[in-house]
Amino acid sequence: MAEILNHDYVGLRARYWQGEGEQAFKTVWILNEIGKEKNITVGIAINKQRIEEIKVLVFRESRGWEVKHDFFTRQFKQLFLGDENRLSKTIDSITGATLSVRAVEKLARIALLLDKEIQG
């Protein structure tokens, strides 16, 4: 996680839910990362090691709020971890929201990495 974030993850633990039965390959993660100065809280649903949905739950920054919108978050659907723990596709940035975009991208990568660890 520290390699992806370029710093240690802030917090004692990562909050998540794991499905049971037919949903056993599904996890949902609630993660935080600093945009420019404040935390951005993101929920990420993963199914069979691919992002099913990503939502910005709490955005505290004064700029970069565009990452909350579907036009941005739908880019993450069905992405998975590729080589060197990179997303399988490049995410289009948003002018004026570069740090927020990077924060959401990092959290998506971390959720996929954690899912991979849990699923074995």
Side by side, which strands form the sheet with 39-47? 15-18, 26-34, 39-47, 50-59
Say whether pTM exceeds 0.85: yes
* CB 51 within 8 Å of CB 72: no
Separation in Å, CA 2 to CA 75, 106, 109, 110: 24, 10, 12, 9
- pLDDT tens sequence for the chain (120 residues): 889 988 888 776 788 999 998 888 999 999 999 999 999 999 999 999 999 999 999 999 999 999 999 999 999 999 999 999 999 999 999 999 999 999 999 999 999 999 999 987
